[in-house]
């Protein structure tokens, strides 16, 4: 067996991988040395002061009480250092670069479906270019899954209730594992795939391969087949609100509260339109719960996004709120 | 009333040979007993069977994972096995293990009491446990359950077509056993301490059980509520957790971990109590920093309630709440570190006897340390994103629960075996088992840290081929571990008949349990003891005993 068949450390495939590894290695060195110190102390003390006929009695002598303060204070300071470093990294992972390429992922028992904004669809394989941030909008059709890229050191649980996002920027070309990390039933361990990181030119060639039109244009077709366009005519006097320029903008609701029209707002407004009625509009839109698949919802989302929006489009999910300026 | 003084310790082998075991006979003298010692024995039988069953499922999983392909078990069977392994080991073995067996047997004796405060409720607890266990066994026989012990929604409420209702119902019932046991211990510790046994004279085992009982009493009802809502949603389809019905799956995770994180402390706090007892007994020394060790148990019990969402850093909670939970998680590490350092410092200028209970506890300190420090990795937010839900987590919590809690349970079993049965176990075999458990455990779970960092997700029936070498090591270790765990079953039963008579105080230890006969009389003490010494007052006791006695 070759040593390459028996790795002890995962390959680094993304911009954050090195940063996560750095924290891991520093923590390993600190905790490893403290643990070894404790083991040695136990071993040495337990041998040196072992019970012998001469040493039946423990000596009535204790280490200085000051030690207590030392081993409360010093670990605490080190722990706080670990906390700050870990939190700093977590915030970095949550901050999505502006120029990210959009990819949509749907988890379902037991496969990963990926849709590109240019319209390509793939299952259990994801083609991405090297050196460019990729933002993945995540949805689940059934239970909770978790999209895990070990070589990129990131994962995110995929929820059936709302959209979440994650991002990475691959640093080298190659083929890397995709795993489902949240137990999801019978074929959980079969819900795996590969991410193919390609040179940008190869990626362009791959994109040029067949598709049924861009994701937004597929969404536009759905917009017509579901007859959304009969009310959302994008005319201010129509029965449904104007969708042009909606994405990422502030929407005033019937109760005068204001919400941001992000991915999850749009998703909810399709599935459960009565939940957040726009001011001035009646509860006339039917629910599309159970009538539009998660894949199609993402297409509709891509279409609505393509209609333009507020200057800084907001990514979905709570964790990215701090990104708004 | 005469007081039992230290000077009397080795002289009071009573003439009367009546003890709790031979005071009466017959099945009903056991099944309807209100004696805390007999109830402890009933628990010992029940949880030992559960441990064997849970161990069987673990062994089948390890055998399946010898090869990357899913070839030994079908994926459904594998999923059921890891689910049952988790449920049995957590709800039916670890949570009752030290509290319900050793706490029941030893705690009242350590307090100088005749029984627990509510003997009938104590018996009721065991019956509730047994009802829960039978419901669990019924589920296993009729097809099992495949949700994982965490029962995450909406998988458990909508998608799994296995016995989710039965399993959660079993766990629901066994939860009440845990609540009642905790309540019983709390009242007993408050109200039934012997004259002179002030709080700071209590053995650290009592402090640990006290902290555990607080957690059992306050956290377990939340589990009951959560499981009830889950059953309700599964049967009646009311939207609580399932988004398709208008519920919120993250609400379930919050509620589940609000119990299940403190539950970790229900498992490890009693283990820490045992460690303190054994370290003191086999060093003949007062635990260094007694009050720090005592209050660190309470600190862990309190802080344990404030860290639950560190199980959910990638689940979709806001990054600000994640930050707070990470911060608080580092706080809970401090009292655990205090204990490890204090046990180590106790060895200084001690008289360390390398007997089996001490070997188990030295192993415990080492393995608990590894389990603890790897928790620091998981509490670091940015790092947790990579390692959570991988074998790194599996290794981490097995170091705490098996390397920690199970090692301590075996230490307690050997330490108090002479008191419980009146017989000594064979030392050579017992040392061998401690060694096998330690070596086997490390070989099983150290490779899993590497596997986890490489990215192997947990709960995988089949895996990528490059993970095989480490998995084979792990399975090899598990086989050694199984031998280490099986040995005591044989030699402890052997010792019941052939072991040397233990005498009152085979270890030359202090503590009220070592002042009464082995096995103790039904009422524990022939006369109520009066305590005039501090916990672990070895210098005084050994002076009283003289230095000639070689134990």
In order of B102, B163, B177, B297, B479, the CA distances from B216 in angstroms are 16, 26, 10, 14, 33
pLDDT in tens, B487-532: 999 999 999 999 999 888 899 888 899 989 989 999 999 888 888 8
Identify the pLDDT of residue B223: 95
Res B2 pLDDT > 70: no
Helix (H) or strand (E) holding A105: strand A101-108
B403 close to B367: Cβ distance less than 8 angstroms: yes
DSSP 3-state of B31: helix
Structure token pair of residue B6: 């230290």
> By C-alpha distance, which of B152, B101, B3 is closest to B415?
B101
Closest CA to B550 of B502, B506, B500: B506
Q: Does the pLDDT of residue B229 top 60, yes or no?
A: yes
Q: How many CA atoms lie within 13 A of B540 on its CB side?
A: 14
Tell me the shortest Cα–Cα distance from B397 to chain A, in angstroms: 17
Contact B542 A57 (CB under 8 A): yes
| Alpha carbon B514 to its chain's center | 23
Q: Are B451 and B471 in contact (CB under 8 A)?
A: yes
Question: How does residue A300 score in pLDDT terms, banded at 50, 70 and 90?
Answer: confident
Looking at the complex, does the CB of residue B161 fall below 8 Å from at least one CB of chain A? Answer: no
pLDDT of residue B544: 61
Percent of chain A with pLDDT over 90: 50
As a whole number, mean pLDDT of residues B282-305 equals: 93
The single residue listed with the structure tokens 């459960």 is A272
Whether the per-residue pLDDT at A18 is higher than 90: the answer is yes
Percent of chain B clearing pLDDT 90 (strictly above):
85
Give the model's pLDDT for residue A285: 87
Q: What's phi and psi for A259, nearest 5 deg?
A: -125, 155
pLDDT in tens, A144-177: 999 999 999 999 999 998 899 999 999 999 999 9
Question: Is B73 touching A (CB cutoff 8 A)?
Answer: no
pLDDT tens track for B413-472: 999 999 999 999 999 999 999 999 999 999 999 999 999 999 999 999 999 999 999 999
Task: Pull the structure tokens for residue B204.
Answer: 């650290």
Give the model's confidence band at B542: pLDDT under 50 very low, under 70 low, under 90 confident, else very high. Answer: low
CB atoms within 10 A of CB B307: 23
Query: What does the alpha-carbon distance between residue A234 and residue A240 come to, in Å, rounded to a whole number?
Result: 8
Which of A212-221, B442-451, B535-544: highest mean pLDDT?
A: B442-451
pLDDT digits (tens, 9 = 90+) for A112-129: 999 998 888 899 999 999
More confident residue, B366 or A284: B366
Residue contact B454–A10, C-beta within 8 A: yes
More confident residue, A215 or B259: B259
Res B334 pLDDT > 70: yes
* Residue A294 with chain B: CB contacts under 8 Å: none
**Residue A96 forms contact with B (CB below 8 Å):** no
pLDDT band at B371 (very low <50, low <70, confident <90, very high): very high
For residue range B117-135, what is the model confidence (pLDDT) as tens digits?
999 999 999 999 999 999 9
Flag if B248 and A161 touch (Cβ within 8 Å). Answer: yes
Mean pLDDT of chain A, nearest integer: 87
Confirm if B361 and B408 have CB atoms less than 8 A apart: yes
Q: pLDDT tens, B380-406?
A: 999 999 999 999 999 999 999 999 999
* B382 and A21 Cβ atoms separated by less than 8 Å: no
Higher pLDDT pick, A31 / B17: A31
pLDDT at A313: 42
Helix (H) or strand (E) holding A289: none
pLDDT band at residue B16 under the 50/70/90 scheme: low
CB contact under 8 A, A189 and B388: no
What's the gap in Å between the CA of A78 and the closest CA on chain B?
A: 10
Confidence of residue A238 (pLDDT cuts 50, 70, 90): confident
Determine if the peptide bond prior to A110 is cis (ω within 30°).
Answer: yes
Contact A35 B369 (CB under 8 A): yes
| pLDDT value for A4 | 54
Query: Is residue A146 classed as helix, strand or coil in its secondary structure?
Result: strand
Q: What does the alpha-carbon distance between residue A192 and residue A178 come to, in Å, rounded to a whole number?
A: 5
**How far, in Å, CA of A47 to CA of B99, rounded?**
32
The full set of domain ranges for chain B reads 30-537
- Please indicate whether, in this complex, the C-beta atoms of B155 and A160 are within 8 angstroms of each other: no
Task: Give the pLDDT of residue B245.
Answer: 87
CB atoms within 10 A of CB B119: 17
B 115-154 residues with CB < 8 A to A: 146, 148, 152, 154
For each of the domains in chain A, give its residue range(s) and CATH number, in order of start. 10-44+68-211 (2.60.40.420), 215-323 (1.10.760.10)
Residue B40, pLDDT above cutoff 90:
yes
Asked whether residue A311 carries a pLDDT value surpassing 60, the answer given is no
Q: What are phi and psi of A98, to 5 degrees?
A: -70, -35
What pLDDT sits at residue A184? 95
Residue A217 C-alpha, separation from nearest chain B C-alpha, in angstroms: 28
Considering only CB atoms, which chain A residues are within 8 Å of B145? none
The two tokens of residue A71 are: 């081993």
CB contact under 8 A, B347 and A46: yes
Least confident of A45-54, A183-192, B75-84: A45-54
Q: By the 8 A CB rule, do A153 and A17 touch?
A: yes
Q: Which two tokens stand for residue B174?
A: 């066994």
Would you state the structure tokens that stand for residue A306, as one six-digit string?
């393509």
Tell me the chain B residues in contact with residue A20 when contact means C-beta distances shorter than 8 Å. 382-383, 385-386
Q: How far apart are the first and last CA of chain B?
A: 31
Across chain B, what does the average pLDDT equal?
92
Inform me whether the pLDDT recorded for B198 exceeds 90: yes
CATH 1.20.210.10 fits B30-537, yes or no: yes
- φ, ψ at B425 (rounded to 5°): -80, 160
For A145, the token pair is 């899954």
For B236, the enclosing helix (H) or strand (E) is helix B204-236
Give the pLDDT confidence of A64-109 residue by residue, as tens digits. 888 889 889 999 999 999 999 999 999 999 999 988 999 999 999 9
Tally of residues, chain A: 325
Residue B463: which of B32, B20, B16, B75 has the closest Cα? B75
Nearest to B21 by CA among B99, B116, B117, B105: B105
Residues 83-112 of B with CB under 8 A from A: none
Angle at B75 between CA B74 and CA B77, to 5 degrees: 65
Q: How far apart are CA B234 and CA B281, in angstroms?
A: 51
CB A87 within 8 A of CB B334: no
- Are A133 and A98 contacting, i.e. CB atoms less than 8 angstroms apart? no
444-483 in B: which are within 8 Å (CB) of A? 450, 453-455, 457-466, 469
How many Cβ atoms from other residues are within 10 Å of residue A200's Cβ?
A: 11
For chains A and B, count residue pairs whose Cβ atoms are closer than 8 Å. Answer: 287
Contact map slice: B 265-294 vs A, CB within 8 A = 283-285, 288-289, 292
B349 in reach of chain A (CB within 8 A):
yes
The pLDDT of residue A17 is 95
Q: What per-residue string of b and e applies to B153-186 under the rule 16 or more CB within 10 Å gives b?
A: bbbbbbbbebbbbbbbbbbbbbbbbbbbbbbbbb
Instruction: Note the pLDDT of residue A60.
Output: 72
Q: Which backbone phi and psi does B390 adopt, to 5 degrees?
A: -115, 180
Which residues in chain A have Cβ-Cβ distances shorter than 8 Å to B310? none
Judge residue B92's burial from the number of C-beta atoms within 10 Å of its C-beta, 0-12 exposed, 13-18 middle, 19 or more buried: buried
Chain A hits for B466, CB-CB cut-off 8 Å, are 5-7
What average pLDDT does this structure show over A269-287?
Answer: 85
């Amino acid at each position: 067996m070759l040593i390459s068949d028996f790795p002890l450390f995962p390959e680094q495939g993304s911009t954050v991988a090195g940063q996560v590894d750095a924290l891991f290695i520093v923590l390993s060195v600190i905790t490893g040395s403290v643990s070894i110190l404790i083991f040695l102390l136990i071993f040495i003390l337990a041998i040196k002061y072992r019970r012998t006929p001469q040493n039946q009695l423990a000596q009535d002598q204790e280490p200085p009480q000051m030690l207590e303060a030392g081993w409360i204070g010093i670990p605490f300071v080190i722990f706080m250092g670990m906390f700050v470093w870990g939190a700093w990294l977590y915030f970095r992972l949550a901050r999505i670069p502006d120029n990210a390429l959009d990819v949509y992922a749907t988890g379902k028992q037991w496969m990963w479906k990926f849709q590109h904004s240019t319209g390509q669809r793939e299952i259990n394989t994801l083609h991405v270019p090297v050196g460019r941030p990729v933002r993945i909008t995540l949805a689940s059709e059934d239970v909770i899954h978790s999209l895990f890229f070990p070589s990129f050191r990131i994962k995110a649980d995929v929820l059936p209730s709302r959209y979440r996002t994650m991002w990475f920027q691959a640093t080298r070309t190659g083929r890397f594992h995709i795993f489902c990390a949240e137990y999801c039933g019978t074929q959980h361990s079969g819900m795996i795939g590969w991410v193919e990181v390609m040179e940008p030119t190869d990626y362009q060639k791959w994109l040029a391969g067949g598709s049924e039109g861009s994701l937004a244009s597929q969404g536009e077709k759905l917009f017509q087949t579901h007859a959304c366009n009969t009310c959302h005519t994008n005319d201010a006097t129509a029965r449904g609100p104007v969708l042009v320029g909606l994405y990422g903008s502030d929407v005033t609701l019937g109760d005068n509260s204001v919400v941001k029209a992000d991915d999850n707002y749009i998703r909810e407004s399709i599935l459960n339109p009565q939940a957040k009625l726009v001011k001035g509009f009646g509860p006339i839109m039917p629910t599309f719960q159970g009538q539009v698949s998660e894949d199609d919802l993402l297409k509709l989302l891509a279409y609505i996004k393509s209609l333009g929006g507020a200057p800084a489009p907001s990514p979905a999910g709570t964790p990215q709120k701090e990104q708004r300026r | 009333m005469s007081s039992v003084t230290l000077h009397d310790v080795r002289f009071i082998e009573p003439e009367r040979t009546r003890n709790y075991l031979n005071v009466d006979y017959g099945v009903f003298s056991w099944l309807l007993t209100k004696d805390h010692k007999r109830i402890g024995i009933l628990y010992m039988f029940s949880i030992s069977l559960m441990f064997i069953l849970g161990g069987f499922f673990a062994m089948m999983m390890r055998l399946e994972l010898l090869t990357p392909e899913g070839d030994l078990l079908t994926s459904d069977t594998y999923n059921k096995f890891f689910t049952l392994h988790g449920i049995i080991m957590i709800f039916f073995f670890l949570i009752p293990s030290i509290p319900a067996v050793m706490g029941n047997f030893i705690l009242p004796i350590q307090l100088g009491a005749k029984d627990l405060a509510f003997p009938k409720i104590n018996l009721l607890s065991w019956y509730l446990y047994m009802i829960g266990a039978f419901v669990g066994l019924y589920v296993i026989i009729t097809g099992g359950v495949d949700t994982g012990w965490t029962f995450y929604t909406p998988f458990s409420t909508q998608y799994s077509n296995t016995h989710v209702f039965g399993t959660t119902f079993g766990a629901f019932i066994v939860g009440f056993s845990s609540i009642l046991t905790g309540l019983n211990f709390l009242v007993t510790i408050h109200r039934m301490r012997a004259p002179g046994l002030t709080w700071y004279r209590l053995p650290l085992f009592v402090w640990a059980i006290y902290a555990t009982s607080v957690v059992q009493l306050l956290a377990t009802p939340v589990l009951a509520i959560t499981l009830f809502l889950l059953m309700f949603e599964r049967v009646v389809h009311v939207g609580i957790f399932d988004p398709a019905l208008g519920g919120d799956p993250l609400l379930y995770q919050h509620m589940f971990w609000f119990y299940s994180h403190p539950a970790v402390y229900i498992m490890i706090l009693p283990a820490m109590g045992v460690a303190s007892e054994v370290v003191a007994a086999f060093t003949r020394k007062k635990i260094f920093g007694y009050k720090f060790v005592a209050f660190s148990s309470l600190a862990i019990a309190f802080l344990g309630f404030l860290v639950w969402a560190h199980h959910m850093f990638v689940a979709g909670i806001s990054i600000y709440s994640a930050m707070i939970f990470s911060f608080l998680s580092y706080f809970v590490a401090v009292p655990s570190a205090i204990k490890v350092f204090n046990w180590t410092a106790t060895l200084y200028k001690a008289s360390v006897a390398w007997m089996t209970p001490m070997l188990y506890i030295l192993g415990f300190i080492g393995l608990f340390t590894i389990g603890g420090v790897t928790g620091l990795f998981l509490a670091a937010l940015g790092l947790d994103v990579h390692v959570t839900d991988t074998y790194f987590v599996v290794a981490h919590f097995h170091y705490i629960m098996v390397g920690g809690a199970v090692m301590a349970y075996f230490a307690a079993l050997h330490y108090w075996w002479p008191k419980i049965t009146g017989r000594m176990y064979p030392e050579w075999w017992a040392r061998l088992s401690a060694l096998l458990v330690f070596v086997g455990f490390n070989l099983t779970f150290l490779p899993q840290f590497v596997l986890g960092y490489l990215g192997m997700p947990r709960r995988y029936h089949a895996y990528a081929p490059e993970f095989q070498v480490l998995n084979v090591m792990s399975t090899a270790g598990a086989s050694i571990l199984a031998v280490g765990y099986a040995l005591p079953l044989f030699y402890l039963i052997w010792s019941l008949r052939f072991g040397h008579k233990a005498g009152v105080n085979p270890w030359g230890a202090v503590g009220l349990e070592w002042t009464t006969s082995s096995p103790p009389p039904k009422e524990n003490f022939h006369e109520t003891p009066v305590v005039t010494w501090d916990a672990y007052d070895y210098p005084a006791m050994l002076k009283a005993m003289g230095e000639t006695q070689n134990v």
